[in-house]
Every structure is written in structure tokens, then in C-alpha cells.
A and B are shown apart, each in its own frame.
Chain A
Amino acid sequence: MDLRRTAAIVGVYEHPTRYAPDKSEQLIIAESIIGALNDAGLEKKDVDALFVAAMPPGITGYGMCDYLNIYPRWVDSTNVGGGSFEFHLSHALTAIAAGRINCAVIAYGSTARSGGVAVGTGGAARWGQARLSPVPDSFEDIYGTTTVGLYAMVAQRHMYEYGTKPEQLAEIAVAMRYHASMNPHAMYRDPITVEDVLSSRIISSPLHLLDCCVISDGGGAVVVASPSLARSTRKKPVWILGVGEGIAHQGGGWRDLLEMAAYQSAPQAFAMAGVTHQDIDMCMIYDSFTITVLLTLENLGFCKRGEGGDFVSGGRLRIDGDLPTNTDGGGLSSNHPGMRGIFLLIEATRQLRGDYAGTPRQTHARRNRAEPPYIALCHGTGGALGSRHSGGTVILARD
């Protein structure tokens, strides 16, 4: 069954807040959904499916239906970490193609920053619970694992196997910050240099403070519609060409840590989309840490294993480079409210629609091209590279 262009993103909204101590996570979700429906020119009554994930302890799918006061025919609270929303898009595509639903909203909201959640360095007690499960927590968290530590171990291994340098990881942070400097909502907008990254303090070796994403509040929503509905919405649809899902874990104690879930999800997405890497005009790659971007690019197949360090050098990921990536400033500089996958879909959609016409963020103008990018790839990673994680690849194309 050819699923290409059987569903489209027709509305997006990124909540502008980065700090919202007086809002609930639910309100941020509701405001984001309303914003995305406004963007699409659709209304509450059009929505027949809800896809939502939240940070633990978290809100539930049915609880969110109660708060929103809706009775959707499809609820999906798949939670595979920060990249859950790429999985949601994959599931929404399938549900729409099967004729089960016409209009889905995918949404996220979080008060990780104002709630004081040390997402990356809180260890197992960051959600307040200090009781471990017998497996696998009791074999891991007792040793003081942190999220950043679990990514740092992968960075260390990559450096050992391939000679990847801290300077190369730093280039990623520098490019993201450059993009953030053009994003009025970004949390950090002052340009930085490779030297700034390397001289920032080590959080968990070999990762520095500026190798790590920010912690913000925030949220966003995406409206996904059937082709018939997509033809009546306010803005041009952004079509889903291909999706793929993958999980990577320890494999009973044997897995090669440098093989990500992306290695499994990307071939599915490319095969479904019927495109190659040369066709991808821009990327949105989940950037929890600089190493996440480097390793994801390798596992997606943009370069060979071990060549990520060279690949990200020389400004390739900059908006005016060969592969513009995270043009909103990413999690490293714009926002990271605990989970970030929703923003990958939002920014890719805005770029493909040409929403940034007349601004420095207009990707194609910066690359001396006449038209907006035609095809974007989004890849969400959830969980931790060093223990277990998910990967969802999405390939989108404009009308």
C-alpha cells in the first residue's frame, strides 16, 4: 500500500513561552492545540483523534480528553520519550490511510523549567520518586546514571573508535546557536564559538555545558488531516512521504552502542517515501546533546559510520550550509521542555511552507535558491543512547 501523501500536516503552533510558572502542562497543551487549529483554519469539532505524550508522572490520553472536553474516536498516548511525536505522526498517518479518522491533533506541553526538573542531571530522583524497579533500574540507577551521562558514554565511545573531537561536537552547538540568534523566541540568542563550548564546564565527560540542551517550559501542536480535509484548510498542506520507527537497547548486554534506533527507522522512511539522501533539503534532528545530532546523522545514512565528526564540520548544518539542520535553534539553544519531538515537525512544516519569507530564517534564500525547501527529514530520539531509546523518522514534502 502506497502511503505517500495519504495524510498532511495542515496546521502547527509552537507555544512562544519558555517560562510559564503560572500555567499547567494541560493549559499549554490546550493553547497549543487551539493555535494549531487556528493556523489550519479548523475548529474543535473537526478534531476526531488525539495524540499526546507527557513527562512522567504525566498526564494520560483519557485525562487529556477530559480536560479538553472532547470525545475523539482515536486516542494514542504512545510514550517513547522525547521523540514520541514522530511516532504519533506515523500512527496518525496509518489511521488516516485506513479511513478511521480525518483530523488528528498531536500535542505536547511541559513546565519542566518552572517546575525545577533537572531533566539531564537529576538522576533517578528527578521526578521525585526514589524507589527503583527491580529491573532494569536496580542494575543501572544505583550507579548514579544521569541522562547526560548516558549520552556522554556514547560520545566517549565514538571518540575512542573514530577519533571524533570535542571541537567537532562543538560545531553543532555553534550552528544551533547561530540559528537561535534569528529566532526571537529562542531561549539563548547570543552567538557562541567553538572555544566558548570547549571552555564551558564539563557536566559529564566529554560533554560540556554547551553540548547539552536547555531546559525550558513550552509546548506545541500539529494538526494532521486526510487529503480531502487538507484541501480545505487555510495553508498549503505539508505531505507525509515516509515514516519509520525503531527501538535500540542493550540487547541482553551485547548491543553496539553506536548503532541507534535511527539505523532501523531511517530505511523504512526512505523506502516508503521513495527518496534518497540527496533529495533531502533540510533536517530537523533531535538535539538533546551535540552527540545526538552527530550520531543520528551517521545512523540516518547521511555519512558513513565514524565520519560524523567531519560531516558536521565546516558549517554544513548551518542554514546557509549544505544540509540546514535545526533552523529554529534546536534544543541546544531554542527550547527543550523535557521532550522536543513536536518542534521538529513544527519547524520543518514552517520551512516547507515558506513561512519565513523576508526573514533571515528563510532557508532557501540563504542558500540562493528560488523556492523553499521541497523535502525535509525529521528524526526524533527519546530515552537515552547509553541504555535504551526510540527513534522515529519522518520525511515531509511541500505541496
Chain B
Amino acid sequence: MTTQQYKKLLPAISGETRPYWEACKRGELLIQKCQKCGKYQFYPRGFCSHCWANEPPQWVKASGKGKVYTFTVTYQNRSPGYAEEVPYVLALVELEEGVRMFTNILECKPEDVRIGMPVEVVFRKVTDQVTIPYFRPAKA
């Protein structure tokens, strides 16, 4: 799939977040853990937002498993790329490590999504430069 064909919004990648997006290409979901206070944070930042430590947080590999914290089935979005995909599931997934991230729930019917449902990460290469993490119902 090329950039021309992918009509949805692409992430802008900066030094602060590049390790995350590079890991996605390898099929790994990274989150950050502070070396001083020990807390996880998401979305990634170049510093620990919890304690403002002098040292930047460490990148750690998340298990990729979690559960749906909340969601909505989107029936209307005027933006190109998304308008064609409705209805789609916008969700907040709570990872096993505790932090929550926005995502879409794929590989299931929107009406089957429930809060608390176990999910696992799945990666989709959308351009040569960008691979995006999504979630799907966890395999039993």
C-alpha cells in the first residue's frame, strides 16, 4: 500500500516518538517506564510526565495484551479515509501494564465489542514508512 492509496491521517514522527514507530514496523508495541519513579506513561514523551525526572524514561516492550476500557462505534466522520470506513470502533484499550491508549478494534463486528473485552495488538503496515498498532479480540 502506498501513501497515495492511504487516505487516512498519518502520524507525524519526531525524535521524541521515533522509537515507538520504528518498533511498530518490527511488530513490537513500546511504552515508556520512568527510571526514577518507575511509572509507565502513554502517549510517549521525551521525559517522564509523572515526576519530571532529569533522565528520560526507558522504552519497554508491552505485552500487547489488554482489555477494552471504553469504546464508541463511529457512524459519522467527515474526514477523508474515515468517512468511507464507518461504522468503525474507536476505543481506549487498557494495557496489561496499566496505561491506556487510543486505537481501533479490528477483526470483529462493531456490535460485538464490549467494555472489559480481552484484546491483543495487531499491526498494519499502511505505508512504506508507517506501521500502525490496532487491537483485535484476544485469541483464546
Contact surface of A with B, Cβ cutoff 8 Å: 118, 121-126, 130-146, 148-149, 152-154, 156-157, 160, 201-207, 250, 252-254, 257, 386
Contact = CB atoms under 8 A, between A and B. Distances in A.
B76 A141 contact: no
Nearest to B69: A157
6 tightest CB-CB pairs across the interface, nearest first? A253-B99, A138-B11, A123-B79, A253-B42, A152-B72, A134-B14
Given A143-B102, A156-B71, A204 B41 contact: no
A77 B90 CA distance: 33
A126 B41 contact: no
B11 A139 contact: yes
A343 to B, nearest CB: 25
Nearest to B115: A160
Contacts of A386: 70, 92
B70 A135 contact: no
A201 B75 contact: yes
Contact of B99 (A122, A254, A257): A254
A238 B69 CA distance: 44
B61 interface: no
Interface residues of B, number: 46
Nearest to B49: A252
Nearest to B39: A252
Interface in B122-140: 132
Contacts of B92: 153, 257, 386
B75 to A, nearest CB: 5
Contacts of B13: 134, 138
B38 to A, nearest CB: 13
Contacts of B80: 125
Interface in B68-126: 69-80, 82, 85, 88, 90-92, 98-104, 115-116
B8 interface: yes
20 contacts: A122-B79, A124-B9, A125-B78, A125-B79, A126-B78, A132-B11, A132-B12, A142-B8, A144-B90, A145-B102, A149-B90, A153-B70, A154-B70, A157-B70, A157-B115, A203-B75, A203-B76, A207-B72, A252-B39, A253-B101
Nearest to B14: A134
A134 B12 contact: yes
A146 B77 contact: yes
A144 B70 contact: no
A122 B81 CA distance: 12
A124 to B, nearest CB: 6
Contacts of A121: 76-78
A205 B90 CA distance: 10
